Amino acid sequence: MRSSLSLSSPSLFPHFSATPPSMASNNSLLWFRKGLRIHDNPALEYACKDSKHLYPVFVLDPHYLQSDPTAFSPGSSRAGLNRIKFFLESLVDLDSSLQKLGSRLLVFKGEPVEVVIRLLKQWDVKKLCFEFDTEPYYQSLDKRIKDYASSAGIEVYSPVSHTLFNPADIIQKNAGKPPLTYQSFLKLAGTPSSPLASASSFLPPVGVTGDYEILRVPTVEELGYGDISQEEFTPFKGGESEALKRLKESLIDKEWVASFEKPKGDPSAFLKPATTVLSPYLKILASLQLLWRDFYYTVAYGTPNFDQMKGNKICKQIPWDDNDELLIAWREARTGYPWIDAIMVQLRQWGWMHHLARHSVACFLTRGDLFVHWEKGRDVFDRLLIDSDWAINNGNWMWLSCSSFFYQYNRIYSPISFGKKYDPSGVYIRHFLPALKDMPKEYIYEPWTAPISVQNKAKCLIGRDYPKPVVDHAFASKDCKRKMGEAYELNRRMNGLVREEDLKGLRRKFEEDQGQSQKSRSLKQKLIG
């Protein structure tokens, strides 16, 4: 299989050797982006053929790495520290692997296309190789670099190897449209190609580099993200070597491998996660099986504006609430629901959590309880997850918010009972929310129901040491279902062509209904009183 970090064991591959320098005449440049790997790397293999010198290049892109002190967590404007640290460790590991093969990673900083074009000219490169990428950002970069290469007579080789299948081929088979169900995708996809059957034993040497400043892989501190002394880093280390080690360890337990069923994993398991935790290495991707991953990549590649609600033809148009207070409470683990808050703490500290835990907090933020826009949650995940992947992150948020792919909005993950069935004693909650560590298990998922005497004994007064619930789940979930029903009806009535004024009108209705509901509840409480 192919991914950004190939997970095939290196011992499975016979070695191939690059063309001896004395028999080669061309200079090649291998532009690393996501495919930070040595094994099963078609771009690397092709770059080595008939090459006198090979320049392995990575460009530190300010688009992703520019420091942003205004962001809600330390890091760049787009990524938090865990994600950046994992990425830097992957670069260090790649450099180490290249050095073992007689080469090294040449690191530069700047706008990628400008840097690469400058290097192509300086080094008299005749062959440029890089892995094909489906993301719109990289598509725009690739068009610019291919246009230049064409005008300069430089050969470009950009193989599809980040995914099992070529998304364009699948879309073409489906009359020019991406398949919108997993089953239809499988019928179209067929059998993936085999991985490369060989690995490098040595690489062509790096040629003269000229007077350009070549950087070493920087540390998080050197990137200038401010005071990070109190930041807890993820326990997962980046790099292809770590990925291969983790895969090997997972495959040792043959009984576990044979009986593994991803949907039945335990989201509360954290000391020994219920999955392989290979998703960050597949991204360097979200925690999905590989065919599901390709499904999302294909739909994303064939859908304009896939990363937003407006202008996205496969996304339901829903007048989500614009409530920053609720968003921040969710993001900062202050919802008052321990299952939800513990997951969000794990996200911030580890940059990873079980896929069912992700489902829980995504549902809670959107159509389950808070009715906040899925794009807001997507942005938080994109920043904090070490396995954040553009296609999968957007696809999952549309799925969990019932905006696309999945439409059974009446099926909600309970913020109370769902976690309890896996971890009735609340071990997971006690670990990530130490304020609740002494709360009796009878109240660990609903601490606001504990008598004051119990709260005092547990040294955790609700409203002081741990927040009260931001919403009443029983009422909020019912209200969300009603709103989703009315939004679906609007989309049906408008045949998917919902205008901004239609959304504003429905949003006003929701606000009026909420006002009337609050008056009714207040009157009821007075009568009871």
Q: Which pLDDT tens digit goes with each residue over 147-196?
A: 999 999 999 999 999 999 999 999 999 999 999 999 999 999 988 887 76
pTM for this structure? 0.89
d(CA 107, CA 123): 15
CB–CB of 27/123 below 8 Å? yes
- Two tokens at 138? 């990289």
Is position 266 annotated in a ligand binding site?
no
Is position 389 annotated in a ligand binding site?
yes
d(CA 507, CA 487): 10
Topology (CATH level 3) of domain 26-162: Rossmann fold (3.40.50)
Is position 291 annotated in a ligand binding site?
yes
CB–CB of 71/384 below 8 Å? no
Is position 72 annotated in a ligand binding site?
no
Task: Please state the rounded mean pLDDT for residues 28-45.
Answer: 94
Is position 276 annotated in a ligand binding site?
yes
Topology agreement, domain 26-162 and domain 303-527: no
CB–CB of 27/52 below 8 Å? yes
Is position 277 annotated in a ligand binding site?
yes
Is position 219 annotated in a ligand binding site?
no
Task: pLDDT band for 231, please (50, 70, 90 cuts).
Answer: low
CB neighbours of 508 closer than 8 A, spacing ≥ 6? none
* pLDDT at residue 526 in the model: 59
Is position 180 annotated in a ligand binding site?
no
What percent of the chain lies above the pLDDT cut of 70? 85
Residue 296's alpha-carbon distances to 25, 121, 180, 450, 463, in angstroms, are 41, 37, 9, 44, 41
Q: Which pLDDT tens digit goes with each residue over 55-87?
A: 999 999 999 999 998 999 999 989 999 999 999
Nearest by Cα to 85 from 240, 245, 278, 237:
237
Structure-model confidence comparison of residues 352 and 526, the more confident one: 352
Q: Scan for tokens 């179209």, then name that residue.
A: 188
Measured CA angle at 423 (ends 421, 426), to 5 deg: 125
Is position 294 annotated in a ligand binding site?
yes
The number of beta carbons lying within 10 Å of the beta carbon of residue 12 is 11
Nearest by Cα to 80 from 89, 68, 91:
68
Task: Check if CATH label 1.10.579.10 holds for domain 303-527.
Answer: yes
Is position 279 annotated in a ligand binding site?
yes
* Domain extent listing, the chain: 26-162, 303-527
